Amino acid sequence: MKALNRLNSIIVTGGAGFIGSNFVRYTLSRIPIDRVIVVDKLTYAGHRENIEDLFPNKRLLFVKADIANGPKMHRLLFNVRPWALLNFAAETHVDRSIDDPRSFVRSNLVGTFELLEASREYRSRLTPSGRKRFRFLHVSTDEVYGTLGSRGYFSEETTYAPNSPYAASKAGADHLVRAYGKTYGLPVLITNCSNNFGPHQYPEKLIPLIILNALEGKPLPVYGDGRQIRDWLYVEDHCDGIWRVLRRGRPGEKYNIGGCNRLTKKAELTNLELVKKICDLLDRLHPPARNLNLLSKRVRSYRNLITFVPDRPGHDRRYAIDGTKMYKELKWRPRHPITSALEETIRWYIDHPGWCRRVQAGRYHRERLGLLR
């Protein structure tokens, strides 16, 4: 830990988004670092509200910028002179990528390219010790691997087989990052995470969508038969894993960060089982009998609101991550059991109705996205 006292500045792109803002909080509260520079375009899912309560803070600087703006990224790196750049910036929702793939290619692929180019030039101007210390960490997803059958796990050696425009744009970015490491010697690290959940997640994603719809007495949409399996990771555990990779990971390597069902012997959850678990927790934390939005509907349990809807086009059936490399090399595994993490997440959404209203206002009404018309 003494080595951490020598850190100065890092750049966190996408730092006003869900995972990025949680990472900023994690860093400021736990790591003795001089400055965190948040770069965010502030699109529908990136909000100042996610980090507003952290200001004023001499250790935190916010820059509104598009990572696909190459000249601006060059200027930023040379002005800030960070020892690391962590790229969280991305369009992330599969349903939106079906409706508008172009914006995903621009943010996820072109944006990553511009960051790599800026970082390559910046690092070339550093001293030998500065070049050795610099790191470019790219945060990616397990969706680049495609879908699994009923058995097996995604490892770092799994062949890429993306099935959505979102996954394809992230896969392309991963390949660019790896290529810059091989071709130009840029000290790159790639992390591929499973489905995150926790505070500040935009309500288009499954868990906050179910929580907010339930609290408002609205139908709880379950795609298809609800038997799709996802590997769930609490966002705080993810942030801890990313720091572990940044400080101890080997440049040029990729690391899968997931719920690690294989290591922890946890049972995998289908989407339907997850929704039912959320409903059961809500029954205890915010009973339907005390929910004014449900009084006229005579709902005894939030499970009564579950509604099956047409499946997503190209919906991957199962994701599961093998976290052996993270555990063996970096001694990391998730610390939060899913039930307690879900309860903490539900409490956060119950306690922050103002945040929920503000981030959705005029942008999103929790309508269904990603349907082929």
Q: How would residue 7 be classed by pLDDT, with cut points 50, 70 and 90? A: low
Indicate which residue of 166, 202, 223, 255 is catalytic: 166
Mutual orientation of helices 18-30 and 235-248 as an angle, nearest 10°?
A: 60
Chain centre to alpha carbon of residue 52: 19
Backbone angles phi, psi at 125, to 5 degrees: -95, 0
What percent of the chain clears pLDDT 90, i.e. is strictly above it? 86
pLDDT at residue 119, rounded to an integer? 98
The mean pLDDT of 79-97, rounded to a whole number, is 94
pLDDT surpassing 80 at residue 364: no
Our answer to whether residue 142 is catalytic in this structure is yes
**Parallel, antiparallel, or unpaired for β 229-230 and 269-270?**
antiparallel
pLDDT at residue 5, rounded to an integer? 42
- Which residue, 338, 143, 160, 307, is CA-closest to 223? 307
Indicate which residue of 143, 236, 240, 322 is catalytic: 143
Q: Which residue has the higher pLDDT, 354 or 3?
A: 354
- How far is it, in rounded angstroms, from Cα 253 to Cα 156? 9
Q: Which residue has the higher pLDDT, 361 or 59?
A: 59
Our answer to whether residue 143 is catalytic in this structure is yes
- Which residue, 241, 219, 240, is CA-closest to 303? 219
H or E, element range at 176:
helix 165-184
The mean pLDDT of 294-300, rounded to a whole number, is 89
Calculate the average pLDDT of the chain. 93
Q: How would residue 261 be classed by pLDDT, with cut points 50, 70 and 90? A: low
H or E, element range at 263:
helix 261-264
pLDDT in tens, 299-322: 999 999 999 999 988 899 999 999
Indicate which residue of 91, 142, 174, 231 is catalytic: 142
pLDDT in tens, 114-168: 999 999 999 999 999 999 999 999 999 999 999 999 899 999 999 999 999 999 9
What percent of the chain clears pLDDT 70, i.e. is strictly above it? 96
pLDDT at residue 1, rounded to an integer? 33
The mean pLDDT of 23-45, rounded to a whole number, is 94
If you search the block for the tokens 């509260």, which residue do you land on?
29
Q: How would residue 4 be classed by pLDDT, with cut points 50, 70 and 90? A: very low
pLDDT at residue 49, rounded to an integer? 93
pLDDT at residue 373, rounded to an integer? 61
pLDDT in tens, 344-355: 999 999 999 999
The mean pLDDT of 184-205, rounded to a whole number, is 96
Q: How would residue 2 be classed by pLDDT, with cut points 50, 70 and 90? A: very low
pLDDT surpassing 90 at residue 95: no
What DSSP string runs through 121-175? Answer: HHHHTS-HHHHHH-EEEEEEEGGGG----SS--B-TTPPP---SHHHHHHHHHHH
Our answer to whether residue 40 is catalytic in this structure is no
The mean pLDDT of 84-96, rounded to a whole number, is 93
pLDDT in tens, 325-349: 999 999 999 999 999 999 999 999 9
DSSP E strands in the chain: the ranges are 9-13, 35-40, 60-64, 84-87, 135-141, 188-193, 195-197, 220-223, 229-230, 232-234, 254-257, 269-270, 306-309
Beta bridge partners of 190: 138, 254
pLDDT in tens, 172-192: 999 999 999 999 999 999 999
pLDDT at residue 265, rounded to an integer? 61
pLDDT at residue 263, rounded to an integer? 66
